[in-house]
Structure 1
């Protein structure tokens, strides 16, 4: 069975005539007969009765006619959809971002993307870094932005921007105004951490180990699932925390939080644009990658 055979069958059934079906599909009447015979042979069902009133669909033919019409109509939409895809017109782009990219970096890039490609609809999904990578692997999204590199052979990580994690405390905290605290001071304070799987949490733990601080010795008050939840907890006095400098600028300016240096601890990391290795990106995804690179590469 192929689309041409179905198209021929539809025209014959609708017109009630093999000759009219041939004219409508620009083939000979004998070829029309061959197409109808091929369909009847494939399904093992007679599809048309030749009567004095013309070629009429049998009961089996009526079933095929109903479904063939839907299939042909849908097939006609394919060239239109592909043309829109190639031109980044009326395209839907599915992307994902971990906490900081999803809350700050990607939204900041959307106005430029939409201004250049107004037909693109953005679907942004958020989660921790592991969630984002899972969505990429399951092909729910085309691209993701995360705050760390993970061992996933099926994914390709492109360095996008640098970031620094800073220690924050609530306004009025006894560390406010200090030029720095010791590692021992940090161990004696309650801390709020991100959940397992967070790029922020992974980077902070690794840097603390490199600075000689065992993360297991921290006095952990809470593990929270988002950067915003961590900031609210710190403002409420639950504990101090390491967060992305990108995410806390507003609160530092408003003086609801203070930044506290830790002697001997400097936490740098990179954000990565992640895609599926060896897979071709849609034009909309290529446009998004270009804009994210323009805005953040080298920052």
Structure 2
């Protein structure tokens, strides 16, 4: 069975004539007969009764006619849908971002994309960096933005922007009056940390190890699943934490949090745009990737995106 056979069957059944079916489908009457015979042979039943009143669909033919009409009509929409997709006139783009990219960087780029391509609908999913990469590998999203490079052979990582992680404490904390603290003082203070798998957590642990501190010796008060939850916990006095500088601008300016500088500890990291190796992006994804690269590539988002 193929689409042409179904089109021929529909025209013959609707017109009641093999000759009219041939005219409507621009083929010869003998070819029409071959198509109908092929369908009857495939389904093992008679689909048209040849009567003095014309070719009338049998009961089985009526079932085929009803479904064939839906199938052929849907097939006609395919070229239109692909044309819209190609021109980014009407498309849905599924992307994912880890905490900072998903909350700050990607939303900041959306107005530019929407202004250029108003027909694009964006679906933004969020999670920690590992979760974002899982969504990418299972093809839930076309690309993701994460706070670190991971060892995944099936993925490509393109450097997107640089970020700084800063130590924050609640307003009125004893460290607020100090210009700097020693790295050893970190081990005596309760910490609020992100969940396992977050880019922020990975970058913090790596920097502490490089400074000669064992991250396992930190006094962890709580692990939380989002950057916003971490900030609220710190403001509530549960502990201190390392977070992205761009995420705490407002709270630092308002005095709800204070930034604490630590001797010998400076945490820089890169954000990466992750895509599947060997897979072609949709036009909408290509457009948004270009916008993200224009806004962030080779730039630092310290102090603002």
**Structure-2-length-normalised TM-score:** 0.97
* Matched residue, 2:234: 234
Tell me, which stretches of 5 or more residues in structure 2 are unaligned?
300-305
* Matched residue, 1:140: 140
**CA distance, structure 2, for counterparts of residue 158 and residue 45 of structure 1:** 58
Q: Secondary structure at the match of 1:197?
A: coil
Over 4 Å off, 4+ runs: none
For 1:111-150, list aligned pairs within 5 A. 111-150=111-150
**Higher mean C-alpha deviation, range 201-210 or range 57-66:** 57-66
* Matched residue, 2:13: 13
* Matched residue, 2:277: 277
Cα shift readout 1:114-144 (whole Å, capped 9, x = no counterpart): 1111111100000000110000000000010
**CA distance, structure 1, for counterparts of residue 150 and residue 192 of structure 2:** 23
Tell me, which stretches of 5 or more residues in structure 1 are unaligned?
none
Aligned length: 299
Cα shift readout 1:62-112 (whole Å, capped 9, x = no counterpart): 111111111101100000001001101111000000000000000000001
* Matched residue, 1:287: 287
**CA distance, structure 2, for counterparts of residue 204 and residue 45 of structure 1:** 71
Q: Secondary structure at the match of 1:176?
A: helix
For 1:2-151, list aligned pairs within 5 A. 2-151=2-151
- Post-superposition shift, 1:177? 3.1
Cα shift readout 1:146-195 (whole Å, capped 9, x = no counterpart): 00011111110000000011000011111113111112211000000000
Q: Secondary structure at the match of 1:144?
A: strand
* Pair 1:192-2:192 in alignment: yes
- Post-superposition shift, 1:17? 0.9
**Structure-1-length-normalised TM-score:** 0.99
Q: Secondary structure at the match of 1:169?
A: strand
